Structure 1
């Protein structure tokens, strides 16, 4: 017997295989069906099933004498998803947004006063907004940073931006914390940020927040492009917001 097999728990393996057995064509199963699926006697299957039922992973239909998966099983999936980097969770949705909108898509997280770019789906357009993964940009001057700052209280904003030097990048760049707070009030009302870049002339972006289960903005997603190509239409705004909502649902 190998060292790996020596420490293997057959009871745990069978319990897991019972959960795996519920799938396409097996939404509900009787005890004998479960026993057949994992190749054990009905009495052995009963012990495994009883334990899973007691722990909240299976629900018994008394009338039909069948079992089905309980909602608690989903918590295992949520734990896995939560452990993934936001970039992995958001990747497919971000690419879909790029394909539907035709514009480059970025995903960022907030670190102190910076928007950190963690994912990028490039548009094939010749005039493309291209911010590399790993870039750190001032949150107050970016669409994604602004919408993430909306989750912070005034007290937290005061703490983070104490002694902060607001650099003026363009004519429209916010220059003070009071200006930022005023802008965030409007951003919160809208639920998104759509603006010409306050970092560099010529680009436009639309950003929406990605929330966790406590309704805290853990990230954001945007589309961006040249101002001659990208206009903040209602259709594009809704595309971005729906993408953010889909990613949020996976948190």
Structure 2
């Protein structure tokens, strides 16, 4: 039997093993201790540690390293994504019942959003994106909301070499075009616009914010543009529902 090729990256494995070295007993480690823990030379460990430090996963004080907030944020975002669909269920259903429009909840992964919950409307003209669907974040209201929470360096890293395949001329065609939109989205606190992906659909999206102030997910109200009018009252209902979920995060 032919041996199955091994596509694993040893460098990535080493980097992950360094992050796993830190725990309650060893919250801080020297370079020598890290090298011993992952069974490499100090010079090899240094390359991995410098990379992790520059990318924001490790922080250094004098000659000792510890996990930086970005490393801990990875675990927090994962745990939050597991819970957010359950926490958002009742407020999302209530918003659907009150407005008659479909409500979706999504999280951000890389440059895409993943739909994790849907409260489906019974209207004849309905917005219906199944749970588990992935869509480009730059072309969606929920994606725009979630991207607006990211530092500029994070945006640059995520979209390095990214092809902005626009399905609408209204969608941004580059990261340079996207960034000012995100700044305005962040200041406004929500995104309301016609869909760049589904003709005739309009949606209003707001962030689901953790107690630490991070956007862990987004919620939108979505329907046919002939029925859904983005007036202040309707936008307020979406923001109120999002705040209700945020209190539980």
Which whole-Å CA distance do the structure 2 matches of 1:168 and 1:221 have between them? 23
C-alpha distance in 1 between matches for 2:80 and 2:188: 27
**8 A Cα contact 1:170 1:200, kept in partner:** no
Q: TM-score, normalised by structure 1?
A: 0.66
The Cα offsets for residues 103-134 of structure 1, whole Å up to 9 and x where unpaired, read as 00000000011110000000010000000000
Aligned to 2:59: none
Secondary structure of the residue that 1:243 maps to in structure 2?
A: helix
- Counterparts of 2:81 and 2:224 in 1: how far apart (Å)? 35
Shift of 1:166: 0.3
TM-superposed CA distance for 1:197, in Å, is 0.5
> What is the CA–CA distance in structure 1 between the aligned matches of 2:113 and 2:81, rounded to whole Å?
21
Large movers: runs of 4+ above 6 Å: none
Q: Which whole-Å deviations, capped at 9, do the CAs of 1:44-103 have from their partners, x for residues lacking one?
A: xxxxxxxxxxxxxxxxxxxxxxxxxxxxxxxxxxxxx96952111100000000011110
- Contiguous gaps of at least 5 residues in structure 2: 1-78
State the Cα RMSD in Å. Answer: 1.3
2:143 & 2:132 partners in 1: Cα distance?
A: 14
Matched residue SS, 1:208: strand
The question of 1:206 aligning with 2:207 is answered: no
Residue 113 of structure 1 contacts residue 138 of structure 1 at CA under 8 Å; is this kept in 2? Answer: yes
Instruction: Tell me if structure 2 keeps the 8 A contact 1:97–1:105.
Output: yes
CA-to-partner distance for each residue in 1:138-173, whole Å, 9 max, x for gaps? Answer: 000000000011110111000000000000101211
Say whether residues 1:117 and 2:115 are aligned partners. yes
Aligned residues: 171
Q: How many angstroms does 1:200 deviate by?
A: 2.1
Instruction: Give the aligned partner of residue 133 of structure 1.
Output: 131
1:190 is matched with 188
TM-score of the aligned structures, taking structure 2 as reference length: 0.67
